[in-house]
Amino acid sequence: MKNNTPARAASRDSRSARADALRERLKNFRAGQHTSKIGSTELLALAAAFVLLALTASAYFFYLVPARTRLLALQSERAELQSVLRRASEGADQDASTQATVGGIVESLEKFETEKLEGREEASTAVIEELNRKTRRHGLTRAQFSFTYQDEKTPGQSSPTATATSARRQNIFPGIDISLTVDGAYPSVRRFIRDIEASQRFIVINNVQLEGVNDSGAQRGALVSLRLDMSAFFRRAGITLTQPPTAGGAATH
């Protein structure tokens, strides 16, 4: 009996040591749980981080996205304005070219008027006398002769006495509308027309009517009737002639 007492004491000591070790481990585990808990400071920092994240997202959607949309709209508007500016520049260049063309035409007209045309007061009678002289020169008989004075017109202005033919024209120069009918041989009539075309005065042949010629052509020596509708133009009042008119000839329309 005495020999079993130390063994039991050793067993109790062993169990006591194991219990102490288990209690120590449990104590350490509880201490670890306590130290791993988040404190109030950490919670405040975490909340502040979430608030900053929310503010950043709000700023992105409420400020950055509209700003990008506005930027795209401004870029589109800039492209449109550049296109308008380019078209305006092209239009300005075209207007400048048109003005230069108009200026050249006006200058050419003024040069033609001052160098080629005569005043109506002194030249209208000379035109009529020249036509009578050419009629006699080619052995033609004058069957009809009439003329109408045409004053210079500005665009939109009309003359109450204008004929249907002259009403279709807008003349910037004063002139005379002449209707002349002559009878004679066909070769003489042709020479008469060429003689008028070679006139030094500005005579425009507006219309030619020839009667007495059959479909196969005019026979040599056959009598024909020629009607010419002509217009003779003169210098406007107040314009000075720079040099004597040169042989410009008549124009046939």
Q: Which fold has domain 120-252?
A: Alpha-Beta Plaits (3.30.70)
- The pair phi, psi for residue 242, each rounded to 5°, is -85, -30
- Six-digit token string for 244: 């004597």
User: pLDDT tens, position by position, for the chain (253 residues)?
Assistant: 445 566 666 666 677 777 777 777 777 666 655 555 566 787 888 888 888 888 888 877 777 778 888 889 999 999 999 898 888 888 888 888 888 888 888 888 888 777 778 877 778 888 999 999 999 999 999 889 998 988 755 545 554 444 444 444 556 788 889 999 999 999 999 999 999 999 888 889 999 999 875 545 445 557 899 999 999 988 887 666 555 554 444 554 4
In the chain, domain spans: 1-31, 40-116, 120-252
pLDDT for residue 252: 46
pLDDT for residue 170: 57
Please report, as a single letter, which amino acid is at residue 189: V
pLDDT for residue 167: 47
**Whether 63 contacts 55, CB under 8 Å:** no
Q: Coil, strand or helix: which one is 204? A: strand
